[in-house]
Amino acid sequence: MPLVSSTAVTQVNASTVDYSRPGRVQGRLVGLANNTQGVQNWLASGQSADVSTSGMTVISFPSMPETLDLARQAEYFVSPVYMNPDGIHTYKDTKPLEIPVSFVLSIHDHEYCRHGALTLLATAAKLHAMVLPISTLTSGSSRNTTLTSQRAGSPFQAPAQGRSGQSQAGLPSGTTPPTTSANTANPVNSGTAEINEDQNIATPISTTNQLSSTYPPVAVLLDLISDGRDSDVSMGVTCVGYLNSVRTRFKGPWLQPLTPLGKNMPSKLEVEFTFVHYPSYTNFQSRTSQYSSNVQQSIINAYADDIRRNFYNTAGLTLNTFQTYQGIGT
C-alpha cells in the first residue's frame, strides 16, 4: 500500500519537476540589509545566483545536503506528586530550531565558480563574516576600542565595591594596587571594566563613541525548500534567523597562480554552517539612549498554527512587519 494518497501525488506532478534544475540554485543564504520592504523587493526581482545587490550578501548552493535534519525539543517542568508516579508536567519552552546545512563547491562548478578558486575564498569569507559583529567605521584608528580590564583571581585584583575594611584584600605583601585612569570619573568615556567574580571574567561597564557604530552579526534568510506556490500558502523552509557556527574546509589540488605573489589556491571548498530559526532577529538595534546597552526589539513568533500551515516557510511573518537590518555589503 502506498504511504501517500494518489490525490496528494497529483498535486506535484512528476512531469512538472526538473530534478536536475540546470541554471537554478538549489538553495541560498542571504545576509539581509536595508528594511523588510527592500528585502521583499529584492526577492521579487528574481535574483537567483550569487549576485549581491542592495547591500545583500548572497551565497548560492550548487547542491543540497544528502539529508536535512530538522529537530526541536520541548521542555517541561516536572513536579513529583505523592502517590502519582508521573508527577505534574508544566510546559516550559521549546528550544529554537537549528538547521545544519552543508555543501561542496568546486572550481569545476563553472556556474557557481565564475572566478575559479577566488570564488571559493570569497564564499568562505562571506560565511565567516556572517558570525562576526559589523563595524561601519572605515578609518584605521577609530576602529580601535580600548578597554582596561582585569581577570578575576589576578594578584592585582581590585577589591569589590561595597566591601569595607578590605581595601588591600588579596594583594601580595608589599604590592601596590594598580593606579586607575584619570578618566574613570567619567564612566562614559573611560573604557574601563569591572570584574564579574562569579563568571571569572572582566566585563565592560561602559562603551565608547566608537562602539555606538558597531552592530551584531548579520541577520540571514535561509531559502531551502518550497513547493512553488504563492509564498503566503506554500510549505517549505524559507526563514529568517542567524548563524551560530560556520566551518569551511579547503582542499587541493593546490593551484599556483601565474602572478609572483600568488600561491596555494584551493580547488575545492567544503562548507558547514548551522542556522538558527528566529523570525524576530535583527542586527539593527535601537538603543534606548546613546550610551545604553539596552535595546528595543519587536518579537515575532512562529506558533503551532503557523508551522502546521507553512512548515518553516516563516519568512512572511518577518517580511510582513517592519524590520531594519544592517548589512555587510556585497
3-state secondary structure of 329: coil
Which of 8-12, 173-177, 211-215, 238-242 ranks highest by mean pLDDT?
A: 238-242
pLDDT of 99 reads 95
Q: Which residues contact 329 (CB under 8 A, 6 or more apart)?
A: 33, 52, 55, 57
pLDDT > 90: what percent of the chain?
34
Q: What is the CA radius of gyration of the chain?
A: 26
Measured between alpha carbons, how far apart are the two ends of the chain, in Å? Answer: 51
- Amino acid letter, 1: M
Across 85-99, average pLDDT: 94
State residue 271's pLDDT score.
Answer: 93
pLDDT score at 53: 57
The pLDDT assigned to 100 comes to 95
Write down the pLDDT at residue 302.
Answer: 94
Q: What is the pLDDT of residue 47?
A: 56
- Does the pLDDT value for residue 36 go beyond 80? yes
Q: Is the pLDDT of residue 109 over 80?
A: yes
Is residue 21 pLDDT above 50, yes or no? Answer: no
Average pLDDT in the 282-311 region?
77
Question: Coil, helix or strand for 217?
Answer: coil
Q: What is the pLDDT of residue 117?
A: 92
pLDDT at 93 over 70: yes
Strand partners, 88: 79
CB 97 within 8 A of CB 209: no
d(CA 128, CA 115): 19
Say what the pLDDT of residue 299 is.
85
Closest Cα to residue 317, out of 192, 246, 231? Answer: 231
Average pLDDT over residues 25-41: 84
Mean predicted confidence (pLDDT) in 48-68: 74
Q: How many CB atoms lie within 10 A of CB 87?
A: 12
* pLDDT for the residue numbered 152: 54
The pTM is what? 0.72
Average pLDDT over residues 266-270: 95
Q: How many CB atoms lie within 10 A of CB 227?
A: 13
Asked if the model's pLDDT at residue 203 lies above 50, the reply is no
Comparing 12 with 246, the larger pLDDT belongs to 246
DSSP state of 47: -
What whole-number distance in Å separates Cα of residue 230 and Cα of residue 238? 13
Q: Which three cell numbers stand for residue 176?
A: 601596590
Tell me what the pLDDT averaged over the chain comes to: 73
Which percentage of the chain shows pLDDT scores above 70?
A: 61
pLDDT at 108 over 70: yes
Strands of the chain, DSSP E: 27-31, 34-35, 57-61, 74-81, 84-94, 98-106, 134-135, 193-196, 201-204, 214-215, 220-226, 236-251, 268-277, 286-287, 295-296, 311-313, 324-325
DSSP-based three-state secondary structure for 220: strand
CA 24 to CA 19: how far, in whole Å?
Answer: 11
Q: Among residues 330, 275, 267, which one has the least CA distance to residue 104?
A: 267
Higher pLDDT, 179 or 253: 253
**pLDDT for res 210:** 42
Domain boundaries, the chain: 20-73+94-134+215-325
Choice between 148 and 135, residue whose per-residue pLDDT is larger:
135
And the C-alpha cell for 313?
516557510
